[in-house]
A and B are shown apart, each in its own frame.
Chain A
Amino acid sequence: MLNMDQIKKVFRTDLVETYALRDFSLNVQEGEFVAVTGPSGSGKTTFLNIAGLLETFEAGTYLLDGEDVNSLSDRQRSALRNAKIGFIFQSFNLIPDLNIFDNVDVPLRYRGFNGRQRKERIMNALERVGLGARFKHMPSQLSGGQQQRAAIARALAGEPRFLLADEPTGNLDSLMARQVMELLEEINEGGTTIVMVTHDPDLARRAQRNIQIVDGQVTDFQLGPIPPAPENDRQSATPYA
């Protein structure tokens, strides 16, 4: 599904060159739920942006579903992103001027669906996340958890095969975080590949596979989930521990 090989990403200013990713290689199989952890500034978000075709890279190859994304034009990358990738952000990133229905509608508009198809997909996605009755609400009228569920509905409406989540529970309280995590697991069980960046080792443990990024490189690669931490090391903030 996702195959990155020797990816290099450098941020340059007049004075400094910062290597965000160096010789970064990763292979994610279809249907996997991968958690990406690492300290702040390690390159997690850069990895996610490159994986989501939002940023380019200096060297290496990235195959998404067997397609070399480096050779694609902006229009082709946008179409690929629209058709195959869904995004979930830490701060939800709902468009404040649009109601929930119109927010979920955004990726479908760029996909070229007709009005009937869009409406059907939007309502299905909202029903799935439990917001079917709130489609006319503005984002500011919803709680944090509801906003994140709306964002998940938006990501799901186009039925992407690949979901990228950047700290999806970072702005939620423990109850909301649990609901969102359960939703992601349910989506993954439906066959959608998920790559989730998180700081939270307890959340990471619930993924099928964990990788750790330090200084732009994969330093800890595991085939299975992280084993449960000893009782006294657990983060009491999350209910998943």
Chain B
Amino acid sequence: MWLYFFKLAWISVRQTPIMSTLMIIAVGIGIAACLVTSTIYMSLSKNPLQHKNNVLYALQLDAWDPQEAYDGPNDMPTQVTYLDGIAVLESDIPTHTVLMYKSGFAVLPENKSIRPFQSLARMTTSDFFPLFDVPFIFGSTWSEEADKIPEQVVVLSKQLNDRLFNGENSVGKQINLDGRLYKILGVTADWHPRPKVHDLNNGAYNRRDAMYVPMSVGIELEMYSRGNTNAWERENVVTFTDTLQSEHIWLQAWVQLDTKKQMEDFSSYIENYIRQQKKLGRFQRPLKYHLNTPSEWLSKNNVVRQDNRILLWLSVIFLLVCLINTIALLLAKFLKKAPSVGVRRALGASKKAIFSQHLYETLLVGISGGALGLTLSWFGLWGIRYLQPGLKDAAIMHWPTFVMALCFSLLASLFCGLLPAWKISHTQPARYLKIQ
């Protein structure tokens, strides 16, 4: 019977081409608007560390200006000073502790056919990889000793390894960075969390890390941060050593605390550290620190801005308006066909059969509208990628979104069709038989 209903639906759609086209356009535009904004919203609001959300913490310490609170989320700095970072690193309470900053090198490839190029590097500690669950395709990270005594070693990203070594296992080979040779210890898999929750200070959607180098090497080589650095005190900072001793905040600190006891002990450790520092004249603001889960961190850093949320709601409202218009058009169309329905009822169609027949027509409109919506969404997202390169990674429709859109269009069409189909199936057939 469903084939018969689809045949009737197709005949009906063909009989009223303008009205049917209007309905398909209305559903299509509504779905496209909703799909584009929800794709962006979902990409922006995704927590790539959800699986470790209850054990990972981004550390905030309030060592800011005693006269004026930090202008940022919860009035606390989002990065830490080198002094405070080292103090955190010295604690053996966390399962893993990561201190890091963004820097870069000039890469001088051994292969002369590849021209030298600048590349971003994450200067970090060895715990970076287990803490953020970074997968390796070759080799592994450096030893803990390299965090204390600088060793010229490096872990490459898959992309850089592909570029320099055609994807071959490069572990044990050397790479020339800024004129120095670094031994390659490992190559990560294609790891690129979006948003870049581990370093939101330098943009949630900017370029991925090309390589990872022990932070101790960066300190030894006096490599400045290529990310954000903030300061509040008028200090005479001239040399790199001055920077290390200053109140400049430029490092990101993360800890993994697996148990409640670890959490309590680490909190005590931080509180004691702040009290100790207060005695030395630092931390002049009220004792304040915060351990943020990845989801809290994303929220505090406004990765999803308020206008994104408003836009999402507006698109949902717009879709509803489109659907309500479609309902009105369907209702008008179906009621116009009431005499034919009266005849069908007289010839033995039950209310259920009439209801199903009309629901199939709304499904046909919905599927067509959904297909149009998907096409428009594809163009919409392409336009966003073209106009807003910063959202290049966010404005991508994934398979789940695609499937969701299809289901959504079916649901939307069912939503549109329920009332008109119910209404037409419950009309009194006798009323229309005389006026056919």
For B342, the chain A residues whose CB sits under 8 A away are: 93
Whether B347 pairs with A75 at a CB distance below 8 angstroms is: no
Tell me whether A54 and B345 are in contact in the complex, defined as CB-CB below 8 angstroms, given that A74-B350, A75-B350, A75-B352 are known contacts: yes
A111 to B393, CA, bound (A): 56
A71 to B6, CA, bound (A): 33
Q: Which of A55, A78, A83 contacts B349 (CB 8 A)?
A: A78
Whether B348 pairs with A81 at a CB distance below 8 angstroms is: yes
Q: Which of B343, B350, B351, B352 contacts A95 (CB 8 A)?
A: B343
For B436, the chain A residues whose CB sits under 8 A away are: 89, 91-93
Q: Which interface residue of B15, B343, B349, B430 has the most chain A CB atoms within 10 A?
A: B343
CB distance from A164 to the nearest CB of B (A): 9
Q: Is B221 an interface residue (CB 8 A)?
A: no
A54 to B432, CA, bound (A): 11
Q: Is A107 an interface residue (CB 8 A)?
A: yes
- The 8 A CB mask of A89-103 against B (1 = contact, 0 = none) is 111111111100000
Whether A95 pairs with B340 at a CB distance below 8 angstroms is: yes
Tell me whether A45 and B348 are in contact in the complex, defined as CB-CB below 8 angstroms, given that A95-B340, A95-B343 are known contacts: no
Whether A83 pairs with B348 at a CB distance below 8 angstroms is: yes
Whether A78 pairs with B11 at a CB distance below 8 angstroms is: no
Q: Which of A90, A91, A93, A110 contacts B348 (CB 8 A)?
A: A110
Q: How many residues of A contact B (CB 8 A)?
A: 31
Tell me whether A79 and B429 are in contact in the complex, defined as CB-CB below 8 angstroms, given that A91-B436, A93-B436 are known contacts: no
Q: Is A216 an interface residue (CB 8 A)?
A: no
Whether B347 pairs with A110 at a CB distance below 8 angstroms is: yes
A117 to B345, CA, bound (A): 22
Q: Is B189 an interface residue (CB 8 A)?
A: no
Q: Which interface residue of B340, B348, B433 has the most chain A CB atoms within 10 A?
A: B348
Q: Is A87 an interface residue (CB 8 A)?
A: yes
Q: Is A136 an interface residue (CB 8 A)?
A: no
Segment 335-378 of B: residues with Cβ below 8 Å from A: 339-340, 342-353
A82 to B429, CA, bound (A): 14
Whether A74 pairs with B348 at a CB distance below 8 angstroms is: no
Segment 80-127 of A: residues with Cβ below 8 Å from B: 81-83, 87, 89-98, 106-107, 109-111
Whether B11 pairs with A79 at a CB distance below 8 angstroms is: no
CB distance from B349 to the nearest CB of A (A): 5
A87 to B348, CA, bound (A): 10
Segment 152-179 of A: residues with Cβ below 8 Å from B: 154, 158, 166
- The 8 A CB mask of B1-27 against A (1 = contact, 0 = none) is 100100000011001000000000000
Whether A78 pairs with B348 at a CB distance below 8 angstroms is: yes
For A98, the chain B residues whose CB sits under 8 A away are: 11
Q: Is B434 an interface residue (CB 8 A)?
A: yes
A74 to B354, CA, bound (A): 12
Whether A54 pairs with B344 at a CB distance below 8 angstroms is: no
CB distance from A48 to the nearest CB of B (A): 9
Q: Is A70 an interface residue (CB 8 A)?
A: no
* Chain A residue nearest in CB terms to B428: A55
A92 to B1, CA, bound (A): 25
For A75, the chain B residues whose CB sits under 8 A away are: 350-352
CB distance from B351 to the nearest CB of A (A): 5
For A111, the chain B residues whose CB sits under 8 A away are: 348
CB distance from A240 to the nearest CB of B (A): 24
* Chain B residue nearest in CB terms to A55: B430
For A81, the chain B residues whose CB sits under 8 A away are: 346-348
A96 to B336, CA, bound (A): 13
* Chain A residue nearest in CB terms to B349: A110
30 inter-chain pairs at a CB distance below 8 angstroms, sorted by A residue, are A45-B430, A49-B433, A52-B346, A54-B345, A54-B428, A54-B430, A55-B428, A74-B351, A75-B350, A78-B348, A78-B350, A78-B351, A79-B350, A81-B348, A82-B349, A83-B348, A87-B347, A89-B434, A89-B436, A91-B434, A94-B343, A97-B11, A98-B11, A106-B344, A106-B347, A107-B348, A109-B1, A110-B349, A110-B350, A154-B347
- Give 19 A-B pairs besides A54-B428, A97-B12 with Cβ atoms closer than 8 angstroms: A49-B430, A49-B433, A54-B346, A54-B429, A54-B430, A55-B428, A78-B353, A79-B348, A81-B346, A89-B434, A89-B436, A91-B436, A97-B15, A106-B343, A106-B349, A110-B344, A110-B347, A154-B347, A166-B433
B-side residues, CB < 8 A to A, are 1, 4, 11-12, 15, 339-340, 342-353, 428-430, 433-434, 436
List the 9 closest pairs (A to B, CB-CB), nearest first: A82-B348, A78-B350, A107-B347, A49-B430, A110-B348, A54-B430, A93-B436, A75-B350, A93-B343
